[in-house]
Structure 1
Amino acid sequence: MGRPVDIDPEASGAARFAYELRRHRRRAGLTQEQLGRRIGFSESLIGMVETQRRVPTEDFARRCDKALGLDGMLDRLHQDTWPPLPPVPEHFRDWAAEERRATALRLWDPLLIPGLFQTEAYARTLFDEEPGITGEQIDQRLQGRMRRKNTLTRDDAPMIWSLIDEGVLHRPIGTRMIMREQLEHLLDISRRPRVAIQMVPYGARASAGLLGAFGIAEMRGSAYTVYVETQPRGRTVDERVMIAELLTRYDAIRSEANSTFLSQKMIEEAVRRWT
């Protein structure tokens, strides 16, 4: 075991949660493994929460409170630090939490406008076309996707580097009006100071990126988790080898992308095409 990581509880709400969890676990004379057995979570997860590499769930906080006899202290800290997540599918909850926690996000999207940048009409069209989905599920998922966009307007919004394949600008999702509105919105977002959108042109040598979309979350310059789109549902992964591989892939795709200025021109031209 390495030397315990020092935690400044005044640095943030997440730091306070990690500090209090570790302090009370040690006071109870429990190792991470022993606490994990009591609450039904892995030792590694407890270690990641205590080093602020994973956002704890409400259930995790409540189980720790019960196991450590804390009378709801961690649950209250959790609610103050991480307000309830938007209503997103279960497989996406971990990544939705990381979107709010990360100081930077790197996104690659070869097929669709990134979820954080989607208009309501564009997103609804996508959900409508999913086999077997009900009207209630559509409304719930639409609400979740629109609430995720708060990430862009927070005072502490992350820096977002977004790579988008040129084909996304020309792939019809819904009516011409929906596409025009979506691309106008994308253009507006591209002008925000904490968002950099780069289009990857048709002629780019970015075939490795065609295997699927992915996102990389960073905390103070260090990548710590990724989200990978797969069928039928994506997954959030914190394996160091996969993170390193996707960082390399992202840099390779980005090396073929247009500048932010030329990318805005491409989006402008696409807006005129859909008008």
Structure 2
Amino acid sequence: MSQRQLAERLGYSDSMINLVERAKRPPSKQFAELCDRTFALDGTMLRLYMATTWHKAPEYLRPWLEEEECATVLRTWQPMLVPGLLQTQAYAHRILSTWPGVTSEQVEERVANRMQRQSILYRDQPPSLNVVIDEEVTRDHIADAKTMREQLLHLLEVAEYPHVTIQLVPYAARPHCGLMGGFVIAERNGMCYAAYTDAQPVGRTFDDRQMITDLIRKYDAIRAEAVPFKESVRLIEEAVNRFDA
């Protein structure tokens, strides 16, 4: 396909195609998505585009971003916060602003990166996202009431997607093995191949088979304590009403 033919299909000028091909101008997210559609690719161009934004993320997180992009299934447990892939911009800003010594510019870059990461949930073939969170996350006043209400409504919206499941672990389940920290497990082609764990001072990514197996067992044990999906949605709706009060 010539540059002119591609330009006509994408709705861009010949010169824009030329500049992107020669790495003289970075493509936009829309450009990447249109290329995927035109060439019948399974998100390849979008993943490459995402790779160009990783430098805006904290260095410790970059290895995980690469693994996250390739996953067909993501399983996550979070005892304290809404998972990053489901955070609203205002909620993410509140969380990322708490880092000691962080500048306003760094916060804006990291919020933008977090929002960009969420695009994997809206591509043509998104990964299945199985989220288990502590009920406390829906009640905690980690931000102002408006931000919390907006965040909870966003959870309800995302929960309507067929590839997303959200479950809450109730207070009655405590103590349980998930209280020591959150984590995410990435799966591709039926095999769990990477994981990310929360830790101090920063989280870490690993691919050790035994450690991943241990996390899978822990995830299954935590999820066994969670209430069913429909009941979890009802509890989130109740939490929204409390922030309305």
TM-score above 0.5, yes or no: yes
CA contact 1:85–1:96 (8 Å) conserved in 2: no
CA contact 1:206–1:256 (8 Å) conserved in 2: no
**1:41 maps to which residue?**
none
CA contact 1:128–1:138 (8 Å) conserved in 2: yes
Q: SS in structure 2 opposite 1:105?
A: strand
Q: Which protein shows a greater Rg?
A: 1
- Aligned-pair distance for 1:207? 2.0
Select the structure with the greater relative contact order (CA < 8 A; seq sep ≥ 6): 2
Between the aligned residues of both structures, percent identity stands at: 45
Paired residue for 1:82, among 48, 66, 69?
48
- Aligned-pair distance for 1:82? 2.5
Gaps of 5+ in 2: 1-43
Does the alignment pair 1:234 with 2:203? Answer: yes
The AA in structure 2 aligned to 1:82 is L
CA contact 1:206–1:252 (8 Å) conserved in 2: no
Q: Which runs of 4+ in 1 moved over 2 A?
A: 78-83
Give TM-score scaled by structure 1 length: 0.70
**2:62 maps to which residue?**
93
Q: Distance in 1 between matches of 2:67 and 2:166?
A: 20
Give the aligned CA root-mean-square deviation in angstroms.
Answer: 1.5
Q: Aligned pair count?
A: 198
Per-residue deviation, residues 229-261 of structure 1 (Å, max 9, x unmatched): 101100000001100000000000010101110
Q: Distance in 1 between matches of 2:46 and 2:234?
A: 42
Q: SS in structure 1 opposite 2:141?
A: coil
Q: Distance in 2 between matches of 1:80 and 1:248?
A: 33
- Aligned-pair distance for 1:81? 5.7
- Aligned-pair distance for 1:205? 4.5
Q: Distance in 2 between matches of 1:175 and 1:79?
A: 38
Q: Distance in 2 between matches of 1:164 and 1:170?
A: 12
Q: SS in structure 1 opposite 2:125?
A: coil
- Aligned-pair distance for 1:85? 3.6
Closer/same/farther in 2, CA of residues 141 and 81 from structure 1, 3 Å limit: closer
Give TM-score scaled by structure 2 length: 0.78
Q: Distance in 2 between matches of 1:225 and 1:144?
A: 21
Q: Distance in 2 between matches of 1:179 and 1:79?
A: 34
Gaps of 5+ in 1: 1-77
Q: SS in structure 2 opposite 1:155?
A: coil
Q: SS in structure 1 opposite 2:235?
A: helix
The AA in structure 1 aligned to 2:48 is W
Q: Distance in 1 between matches of 2:233 and 2:48?
A: 34
**1:120 maps to which residue?**
89
CA contact 2:47–2:69 (8 Å) conserved in 1: no
